[in-house]
Amino acid sequence: MSSRNKFLRLANIGLHHLEYLQAIERVRLSTYAPLKCLSSQKKPSTSIISPGLPLNNGDRFVTTGPWKIFFRSYAKGKDRKKSEKGKKDVPVNEAALSELINLEGLKNQMQKSVDTMKDEYVKNLSLRSTTGSFETLRVKFEGTEHTLQDLAQIIRKNPKTIVVNMSAFPQAIPSVLEAISKSGMNLNPQQDGTTLYIPVPKVTKEHRENLSKNAKSLFIKCRDSIKDVQNKFMKNLKNKDHVSSDDVFSAQQQILSLSKTYVSQAESIMEAKQKELLGKD
């Protein structure tokens, strides 16, 4: 090939390359912006591809002159959460995990959170409030926790009223009123001197719904307690210098799996209690 022909060929290639770059610039400045609205639910990204390039499912392209604008859809935050929720939990190798953490201590602390929730359900979430529920009510007084029966005399005057005689510890009345208010039993005590009169709520639909909400609140409290235990053990793992980063990551994933197990257990108890309170089969 002559030098002249070689020069013309190289010039032609350079011209095509320049046209290609100009096409990309035109797309960037003018074409991409109006086409961005094609996907109202998902945020698109774009690149220039030659005609005929196969596309993945869910992707799309728009023809612009000799080129095609390729859109790839990215999942939004909620979509990612749904996909993460469907992920399988990592299997727990208790023998290997026990070498890195106090596994029994972790399981006992998480189980204690669930048991505490169950006890609060029994004591505080009854359709018919009983004197037994009040006797075991925890009251913080002068820096110490007491049961209400240690501070007062509790009498069921009639099916609709409970009487709490605070004459032995009148200074504890504000603490008792606060404990009753936070008990989740939906009670409105009336004070007369050192005596508290507590009307027992009727079993109405509204009362049932309030108790069901309290069951959810106690579950959230339990769930947060389990996660506190989870985070404490995961944090302690990071401080172990002799453990490799891969082993730390694997152990943390197993701790997360254990945590989910106890949270699921508590959630099942909550759902059963809510059905009972709402009168559902």
67-95, pLDDT tens digit by residue? 444 444 555 555 545 544 556 678 889 99
Q: Is the dihedral of CA 71, 74, 76, 78 positive or negative?
A: positive
Query: pLDDT by residue (tens digit) across 134-162?
Result: 777 889 988 888 988 899 998 888 878 88
pLDDT score, position 60: 46
Confidence of residue 59 (pLDDT cuts 50, 70, 90): very low
Report percent pLDDT > 70 for the chain. Answer: 65
> For 202-231, what is the mean pLDDT?
91
Average pLDDT value for the chain: 76
Q: Which residue has the higher pLDDT, 6 or 225?
A: 225
* Cα-to-chain-centroid distance, residue 167: 45
Task: Report the candidate in 187, 168, 78, 172 with the shortest Cα–Cα distance to residue 128.
Answer: 187
pLDDT at res. 251: 93
Is 50 exceeded by the pLDDT of residue 273? yes
Strands 67-74 and 60-64: antiparallel
**CA triple 156-161-165, angle to 5 deg:** 60
Question: With a threshold of 0.75, does the pTM exceed it?
Answer: no
Residues 176-208 pLDDT 10s? 999 888 776 778 889 999 999 988 777 778 878
Q: Which residue type sits at 99? A: E
Check: CB of residue 164 under 8 Å from CB of residue 192.
no
Whether 269 shows a pLDDT value over 50: the answer reads: yes
Residue 45 host element (H or E) = strand 43-49
Distances (CA, A) of 241 to 93, 96, 247, 248: 21, 17, 11, 10
CB 127 within 8 A of CB 186: no
pLDDT tens by residue, 104-130: 999 999 999 999 999 888 877 876 655
Confidence of residue 169 (pLDDT cuts 50, 70, 90): very high
Q: Report the half-sphere exposure of 170 (CA within 13 A, side-chain side).
A: 6
- With 60 as the cut, is the pLDDT of residue 41 above it? no
- Residue 37 — very low, low, confident or very high, per pLDDT cuts 50/70/90? very low
Instruction: Tell me how far apart the alpha carbons of residues 275 and 212 are, in angstroms, rounded to a whole number.
Output: 8
